[in-house]
């Protein structure tokens, strides 16, 4: 299906190979014949570590849609991968904003104790985040994300 080497490394869960390919300049936003990206593959299969690696790349575009109109966020939600869904939402709607608390703290070269980064190793309560309705979110995604933000993720 026209998959890239990066997509194959992701689909096989090879996080070290993913890191190496990214360091060598692999295009993580490239789409295969179905319109899927490496991020979509990782989101679908619940590969949190690889999702985090991909999201850490500034050029990672979480808004890309496949041929069916699905994004990595909608794919993660359909597959029931809550923490991945929250990380994708945060990248798209919170962490990427110029005036977000995360970016403001970065620009002042200080870290706030309240800055939260999704991690598979922490028990994080996201209930303090406000979820604003976005035109890019479908009502089902909004409802699911709203309920997830009110729960503690193990």
The pLDDT tens digits for 65-86 are 999 999 999 999 999 999 999 9
Share of the chain above pLDDT 70, in %: 61
Sign of CA dihedral 154, 137, 30, 45: positive
- Residue 109 has a pLDDT of 44
User: Given 3.40.190.10, 1.10.150.170, 3.30.2310.20, 1.25.40.20, which CATH number is that of 5-153?
Assistant: 1.25.40.20
Tell me what pLDDT residue 147 has: 55
Which pLDDT value is given to residue 93? 82
Which 8-state DSSP code applies to residue 152?
E
Q: What is the pLDDT of residue 102?
A: 47
The rounded mean pLDDT for the chain is: 77
Q: Which residue ranges in the chain fall short of pLDDT 70? A: 95-154
Note the Cα 24 to chain centre separation in Å: 21
pLDDT score, position 1: 72
pLDDT tens, residue by residue, 25-35: 999 999 999 99
Of 24, 27, 28, nearest to 52 (Cα)? 28
pTM: 0.65
The set of residues, in sequence order, having a beta carbon less than 8 Å from that of 125 and lying 6+ positions away, is: 152, 153
**Residue 54 CA to chain centroid, in angstroms?**
8
CA distance 129 to 104: 16
- What's the pLDDT at 117? 42
């Amino acid at each position: 299906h026209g998959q890239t080497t990066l997509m194959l490394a992701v689909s096989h869960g090879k996080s070290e190979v993913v890191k190496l390919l990214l360091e060598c300049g692999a295009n993580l936003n490239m789409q295969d014949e179905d319109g899927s990206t490496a991020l979509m593959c990782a989101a679908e299969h619940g590969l949190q570590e690889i999702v985090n690696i991909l999201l850490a790349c500034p050029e990672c575009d979480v808004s890309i849609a496949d041929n069916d109109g699905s994004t990595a966020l909608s794919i993660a939600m359909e597959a029931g991968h809550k923490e991945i869904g929250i990380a994708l939402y945060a990248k798209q709607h919170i962490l990427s904003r110029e005036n977000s608390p995360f970016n403001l703290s970065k620009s002042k070269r200080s870290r706030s104790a309240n800055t939260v980064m999704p991690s598979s190793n922490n028990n994080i309560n996201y209930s303090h985040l406000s979820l604003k309705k976005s035109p890019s979110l479908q009502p089902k995604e909004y409802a699911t994300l709203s309920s997830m933000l009110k729960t503690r993720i193990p």
